[in-house]
Each structure stands twice: as structure tokens, then as C-alpha cells.
Amino acid sequence: MNFDLALNKEYPKEEIETIFGTNFGYGIKGITLRKYNNGNPYIILFSKEKGPYSDEFGENTFYYDGEGINKDQKLTAANKALVNAKEDHRTIYGFRQENKRGMWRYIGTLKVLNYEYIPKNGFKTYVFKLSKDFNY
């Protein structure tokens, strides 16, 4: 399945909803689980530069904090989807909000390299190491 997305282009939430045929409601979840028409799962991943999580973004490698804040994170459906994404080859579409509020830059398809469940900011946190998926 191919969505009409341009690498590094900024999209408003409404346009992302149209592209993926979904409705995020009032706010966008960082890890959004979706399914293609054929039933295969995929993930839409959102990260804010100035958000409540301490995601670290480099040129091609990213460290993404799992779902859950100000408490020990649980293996929620969203966190489990990222844990299993490496084995089930689930496509991850990555977006990053940087300077412009309401605009999300498409950073490409991503893959999970590994993850850790570690103490961070006083709580146990899933930290996922992702990279751009150049094979997609």
C-alpha cells in the first residue's frame, strides 16, 4: 500500500487524516495503530520537538519514548506494536512537529532496530531505537 506522502513536506493534521482515511479527533496520539484495507497493520508515529516526551532525533537514527508519561510505562497495545514491529515487518510512517504548531513534517518510513525498558526521568520507559527504512 502506498500513501501519497512527500518526504520532508509539512502537512496539517486534517490533510494527514485525509491521506490515511482516519480521524484523530481532538488530539493526535503519538503511536497511532491502523490497518490497510487488506487487514495488515501499520503505525503512524508522531513526535513533537517541544512535547512532553524526550525523543531524540538525529539524521537517520531516532530514539522514541513509548506511550505513557509521569509513571512507569506499561506494555500498552501501542507500545507492544512497536516492540513487535521488527518481527512482523509493520510499516511505520513517521511525522515530526518542529517549529510550526499544527504542521507535521513527514520524515519517511521507519523501522525499529531495537528497544530498551529503562529508567528515564524517574520512571521505567520504553525507548525505541528507530531508523529510516530505505528499503521501503
Q: Tell me, what's the pLDDT at 60?
A: 82
Q: Tell me, what's the pLDDT at 99?
A: 78
Q: What is the pTM of this model?
A: 0.92
Sequential pLDDT tens for the chain (136 residues):
678 899 999 999 999 999 999 988 887 899 999 999 898 999 999 998 887 788 888 778 999 999 999 999 999 999 999 999 988 889 999 999 987 778 999 999 999 999 999 999 899 999 999 998 876 5
**What does residue 45 show for φ and ψ, rounded to 5 degrees?**
-110, 130
Q: Tell me, what's the pLDDT at 1?
A: 62
Say how far apart CA 65 and CA 52 lie, in whole Å.
10
Residues 6+ apart with CB under 8 A from 9: 105, 106
Say how far apart CA 39 and CA 47 lie, in whole Å.
25
Domains and CATH numbers, the chain: 10-132 (2.30.280.10)
